[in-house]
Chains A and B, each alone.
Chain A
């Protein structure tokens, strides 16, 4: 099974900050990685697929990069609506999520 590990688990930041979340796979997943945002009590929302492709309607301050086993999600200028939990997911062999990164207000 492919394991996904995110870091950090919690991140404290302020509005306007540049934020980076890292996701590592236990083996190469090429670029088959997606990122989701989840707010409390709500379903996850797709942000990025194929490591760096922005889903329609997602603000351009979100970007993704990486390949193989190491990936990043970057929010270029954190907005109030961005305080949430973020999950990475590999989809090369079945589907596995990272444990999540909570972005909270500093």
Chain B
């Protein structure tokens, strides 16, 4: 069965950095696009970043562009999110998400990890 296990969350001061990891298993990791989605405490879901199956393309939400970098190591079945210049508004549970495609070739999310909490506070 598909498993996505995030790690690396914690408390960091404004302006600091953190790197999240997501260990994937139960599917052919190198065949699927992957995403990070976050949820601030008591709030809704916000898509953060996407990386193609072969790492050839990365897309970012405007709120994190230039500060966050998504990457992957297909030999280790692991997804990463490097978070720099962190702000209090980045405080959220960050989810690792696997995508799949429908009959039209459009990508939606089918499996989510349990999430890791990032708290940006002085």
Contacts and interface: CB of A to CB of B under 8 A. Distances in A.
A36 B45 CA distance: 11
B44 A53 contact: no
Interface of B: 35, 44-47, 50, 59, 61, 95, 102-104, 106-115
A91 B108 contact: yes
Given A43-B115, A50-B102, A50-B104, A97 B110 contact: no
Interface in A1-40: 32, 34, 36, 38
Interface residues of A, number: 24
28 contacts: A32-B102, A38-B45, A42-B114, A43-B112, A43-B115, A44-B95, A44-B109, A46-B108, A46-B111, A49-B108, A50-B102, A53-B102, A55-B110, A89-B45, A91-B106, A91-B107, A91-B108, A92-B106, A94-B47, A94-B50, A94-B59, A95-B35, A95-B47, A95-B108, A95-B109, A97-B44, A97-B45, A100-B44
B55 to A, nearest CB: 18
